[in-house]
Amino acid sequence: MTARLPDTLPITRGCPYAPPDEHRRLQQEAPISRVTLPSGMTVWALTRHEDIRTMLTDPRFSSDRRNPNFPLLLEGQRLNTDFVPSLIGMDPPEHGPARREVVGEFTVKRMAALRPRIQEIVDEHIDAMLAGPRPTDLVKALSLPVPSLVICELLGVPYDDHDFFQARSSLLLSRTASPEERKRAVDELREYLGELILAKERVPADDLLSRRLAKSDDHEELKSLAFLLLVAGHETTANMISLGTMTFLERPEDIRTIHEDPSRTLPAVEELLRYFTIAEIATSRVAVDDTEIGGVPIRAGEGVVALSNTANRDPETFDRPDELDLERGARNHLAFGFGAHQCLGQNLARMELQIVFDTLFRRIPGLRPAVPLDTLPFKDDANVYGIHEFPVTW
Amino acid sequence: MRIVANTDVCVGAGQCVLTDSAVFDQDDDGTVAVLIENPEGQRLDGAREAVTLCPSRALSLVED
Ligand code: HEM
Ligand code: SF4
């Protein structure tokens, strides 16, 4: 199958509200096809919802990021392999037991128990916004600190260390930090997490690390897990806070809707997740055995990228796929992936977003963008789509 | 129709609980626990939805 496509598949979105045209053309003309990524790697691109679900539930596709054929978008992205591989890079038979050890920390019920504390965190940051200067950058004031503090809460980082943790975790994501600064932040965070684990071993408390320590004394593995939770749960949620706020600010009638009936917020969150599908590249895989998808043979050693943002607009699966319908509430989207690796933190993310949108527009009813939205710096070149900076005022 | 849950493949994503927490629950380890084995009416519709949403394909509905 061939489509009239540029030699290299563009990965930049351009319009924040739509997948790249080239990805759409693939879906229409060659839904399973060989493409060359900007990294120079040639891989399979999947664009149909059902094909991606099939791929992500087929154990012949591996998540092992150390495999040299694992798709990379850009050159130089191969992960530092010194770390103990974390959950996200594991395959069966290791993945299942490893996931089972932590998934009890993320049940719908346990997440509900975190709600009051998350509400407090959100309120404190909105208090600070209201007391501070206008305009302010929503990303720094709210989007980034809220998920990072929620992870502190989960891991049991003591209050006095929050500033340290927060500063390092935002350096990891900073566009202006140099590679050396970023590496130093990673080292300092890992060292900190190592010390935190030792402290929890001495004085256990009511948190994830203490509970894990009661069952295992593998500190390296625990450190990797803690770091993964930070990396996987921080920027993703932050970007959805920014993108969701931007979208709501363009649709005052939807702000009114969730204000009058807060039961509408969760379906809205779900639709925003579908509409932006910010982390599609996380669901790349590499075939470790010959197999086939939708009748197309895929050989061992071939990489596969799931273009989930486009698949989340698959007309076979979603009616009026390009319409942002905040009442749709469909959870069969691929924004959290599918299969055994489907986002561990999804119910935490849903709750964080729900609380932020419910609280932000209620407490700052006059909130508005301080610059035209089409001038916002979107993360067009990043693995996780989002907004670098979002000046707002009220 | 009876709900069958394969607890060996469940990855604890909780999609089923979100669909209907009267029919599905998660135990302390995050694994699915079926509360109503033979759902009817609206509950059955919810169970059907959970079957398609479950990311690990751990759920199925069988005719007895
Ligand atoms: C809106 C926010 C989020 C989005 C869009 C998102 C997206 C994703 C996606 C697409 C995957 C699948 C990766 C794969 O198939 O390999 C994933 C996995 C994962 N996510 Fe999230 N995520 C979000 C928030 C969070 C949060 C808040 C946490 C935890 C605090 C978290 C922790 C994880 C972990 C640990 C995995 C790996 C699970 C495994 O491999 O079994 N995520 N996420
Ligand atoms: S949706 Fe599936 S994987 Fe998730 S808890 Fe329910 S049965 Fe388990």
- Mean pLDDT, range A312-332, rounded to an integer: 96
Cα separation values, B43 from A85, A278, B51, B57, Å: 41, 33, 12, 19
What is the distance in A from the centroid of ligand 2 to the CA of A152? 26
pLDDT given for residue A124 in this prediction: 97
What is the complex's ipTM, to 2 decimals?
0.94
Of A171 and A149, which is predicted with more confidence?
A149
What is the distance in A from the centroid of ligand 1 to the CA of A231? 9
Torsions phi, psi of A77, nearest 5? -95, -5
Q: Which chain B residues have a beta carbon less than 8 Å from that of A50?
A: none
> Residue A374 gets which letter from DSSP?
G
For A88-138, how does the pLDDT look when each residue is reduced to its tens digit (9 = 90+)? Answer: 999 999 999 999 999 999 998 889 999 999 999 999 999 999 999 999 999
Residues A100 and A225: their CA atoms lie apart, in Å, by 13
- Mean pLDDT, range A353-373, rounded to an integer: 97
- Mean pLDDT, range A283-287, rounded to an integer: 96
Pairing of strands A391-393, A61-62: unpaired
The CATH number given to whatever domain includes residue B41 is 3.30.70.20
pTM for the full model?
A: 0.95
Which own/partner pairs from A374-377 qualify as long-range (CB within 8 Å, at least 24 positions apart)? Answer: A376/A246
- Mean pLDDT, range A173-194, rounded to an integer: 86
Tokens of A172: 């990891």
Q: Which chain A residues have a beta carbon less than 8 Å from that of B19?
A: 331
**Within 13 A of A92's CA, how many CA atoms are on the CB side?**
13
pLDDT given for residue A308 in this prediction: 97
pLDDT exceeds 50 at position A220: yes
| Residue linked to tokens 């998934």 | A103
pLDDT given for residue A81 in this prediction: 45
Torsion, Cα of A214, A216, A219, A223 (10° steps): -80
| Residue linked to tokens 């087929």 | A58
Mean pLDDT for chain A overall: 92
For residue A179, whether the previous peptide bond is cis, meaning omega lies within 30 degrees of 0, is no
First to last CA, chain B: 6
User: Number of folded domains in chain B?
Assistant: 1
For B40-50, how does the pLDDT look when each residue is reduced to its tens digit (9 = 90+)? Answer: 999 999 999 99
Residues 6+ apart with CB under 8 A from A31: A46, A47, A48, A51, A294
Write the DSSP assignment of A200-261 as a string of letters: HHHS--SSHHHHHHTT---HHHHHHHHHHHHHHHHHHHHHHHHHHHHHHHH-HHHHHHHHH-
Residues spanned by the domain of B35: 2-62
What is the distance in A from the centroid of ligand 1 to the CA of A375? 29
Contact A331 B53 (CB under 8 A): yes
For A255-278, how does the pLDDT look when each residue is reduced to its tens digit (9 = 90+)? Answer: 999 999 999 999 999 999 999 999
Residue nearest to atom 40 of ligand 1 (CA): A88
Please state the three-class secondary structure of A26-63 as a single string: HHHHCCEEEEECCCCCEEEEECCHHHHHHHHCCCCEEC
Domain A21-393 fold is Cytochrome p450 (1.10.630)
Q: What residues of chain A, 286 to 345, have a C-beta less than 8 Å from chain B?
A: 331-332, 336-344
Contact B30 A103 (CB under 8 A): yes
